[in-house]
Amino acid sequence: MAPSSLTPETHLPTFPVLGLPVHLADNYSQWLSSRLSQGLGTNVITLNAEMAIAAESNQPLAELIRNADLVIPDGAGVVLYLKFKGHPIQRCPGIELAETLLHEFNQLIPSGLVFFYGGKPGIAQKAAEHFQHRIKGLAIASYHGYLSDSEEQEMLASLQELQPQLILVGLGVPRQEFWIAKNRHLCPDAVWIGVGGSFDIWGGEKQRAPAWFCEHHLEWLYRLYQEPWRWRRMLALPYFAWKAWLRS
């Protein structure tokens, strides 16, 4: 586990999960909040079983994960594997980490700016309004993820000009990870997080699994209920378990 007194410069220890490093900490949000407040650019990867399996056949993705500043245990399979290997650690869903940072943002960076990018037209804006109605004074710029090439170039120019401190990208795995790696140089002092379908939940298009499902590592089952077309992707879960068992 990471040292009890975390500083922004603390190098968190890691443990390999299918050859990918997962950082170990008692409080990821505390460490990340400190880096956010001090302008220490950070690329966050939210690792789950599906991403870990995808990285086995996608070496560029695996390299992005290995080079990330922070890899958190987002998925239940990753957490259970770490526990089995002697590292009992709390699951850190990316959506919850992002929510914590958003609620703390104004205290960390008065007059700062958050940037949302991704989702269907209108969804990122609804997600932004969701937080702005709840957090007084929170400034969020938002763009949907269906921009034309020329529109994306305009958005990137705006991103570079605005220099937001927190950038949340919801393009799905692995597109969002590659997009962040390609464009991170535009805002080198920002915290960048790929948040998958979080905008859909914040924007009211979908519901997150009830707490009972999350607490019992069954959030994947609720997502399958909401999106039955995902069943092929869910095959990564037993495959991850099998690969993890072989490496044990």
Q: Which pair of structure tokens corresponds to residue 37?
A: 């407040």
Mean pLDDT over 212-241 rounds to 73
Task: Give the residue numbers spanning the domain of 193.
Answer: 14-202
Q: Of 102-106, 151-155, 242-246, which gets the smallest average pLDDT?
A: 242-246
8 lies in a domain? Answer: no
What pLDDT is attached to residue 13? 96
* Assigned domain for 169 exists: yes
Per-residue model confidence (pLDDT) at position 143: 99
* Amino acid identity at 5: S
Query: Which CATH number is 107's domain given?
Result: 3.40.50.10660
Query: Between residues 233 and 89, which one has the greater pLDDT?
Result: 89
Q: Are 184 and 176 in contact (CB under 8 A)?
A: no
Q: Is residue 217 part of a domain?
A: no
- Quick check: is 243 in a domain? no
Q: Is the pLDDT of residue 158 over 90?
A: yes
Per-residue pLDDT, averaged over 169-173, amounts to 97
**Amino acid residing at 7:** T
Confirm whether 154 is domain-assigned: yes
Does any domain span residue 223? no
204 Rama class: left (phi>0) / alpha (psi -120 to 50) / beta: left
Count of helix runs (H) and strand runs (E) in the chain:
13, 8
Residue 218: inside a domain, yes or no? no
Q: How many residues does the chain have?
A: 248
Domains: count for the chain: 1
Q: Which band of pLDDT confidence, cut at 50, 70 and 90, is reported for residue 226?
A: confident
